[in-house]
Amino acid sequence: MACNTQIIDTDIFFQRNCTLSKGTWSNNVDKRINEYYLFHGTLTSNAESIAQQGFDVRFSKGALMLGRGIYFTDSLVKADQYTRPDDSGMCCIIMARVLLGDFVVTKSCSGIPSTSCQPPCKQCMTSLCNKSDSQHQRFDSVVFTGGLHKEFVVYDNWRAFPEFIIFYKRV
């Protein structure tokens, strides 16, 4: 049951990051660059900071299945698993515009250590690749399909823009 929805002013993020994403932003997602609306479950205490400053990969917590990135899903059920009710019982999910770019789809977490801060190499298929030549470029993001719900991970802050915060109480 949605109790409150807040629209985030994203102009700040778009202006700051437009040159990094090599494009201009509109109100519609752009499928040509693999841009999607996805959900991010978080604590209500984190919502204001994310709304004001955007997502920050440095705040990734714990041993993460696909490395230290910013995690999203296309399932509200999965996003809800990443939330915890605050003292008033309120939970929080952020709907974000996410630029996946050139992504890899995987059903396995092998090749991506939980401490990795980057997606896998396109040739080696591992995050451990330390070759820097043009033959060893990295994917932009990872899509995990090995569970009940898809998970999407980006490793650069500028690839995700919070647009809506959904506050709700579980019934």
The string of DSSP codes covering 19-31 is TTTTS---SS--G
Establish if 93 belongs to a structural domain.
Answer: yes
Query: Virtual CA dihedral for 11, 33, 158, 65, nearest 10 degrees?
Result: 140
What's the whole-number mean pLDDT along residues 148-153?
A: 95
Position 122 confidence tier, pLDDT thresholds 50, 70, 90? confident
Domain count, the chain: 1
Is residue 26 domain-resident? Answer: no
Task: Report the pLDDT value the prediction gives residue 77, as an integer from 0 to 100.
Answer: 95
CA distance 153 to 156: 9
162 within domain boundaries: yes
Say yes or no to pLDDT of 117 above 80. no
The whole-number pLDDT of residue 112 equals 65
pLDDT (0 to 100) of residue 111: 57
Give residue 84's pLDDT: 94
What does the mean pLDDT of the chain come to? 82
Tell me the backbone φ, ψ of residue 60, rounded to 5 degrees. Answer: -60, 140
More confident residue, 63 or 49: 49
Q: Taking residues 93-97, what's their average pLDDT? A: 96
The pTM (predicted TM-score) of the whole model is 0.81
Residue 97 confidence (pLDDT) above 50: yes
Domain span at residue 37?
2-21+31-169
Residue 73 lies in a domain: yes
Per-residue pLDDT band for 33 (boundaries 50, 70, 90) equals confident
Report how far residue 150's alpha carbon sits from residue 107's, in angstroms, rounded to the nearest whole number: 10
- Compute the average pLDDT of residues 34-54: 93
Q: What is the CATH number of the domain that holds 86?
A: 3.90.228.10
Between residues 47 and 12, the one the model is more confident about: 47
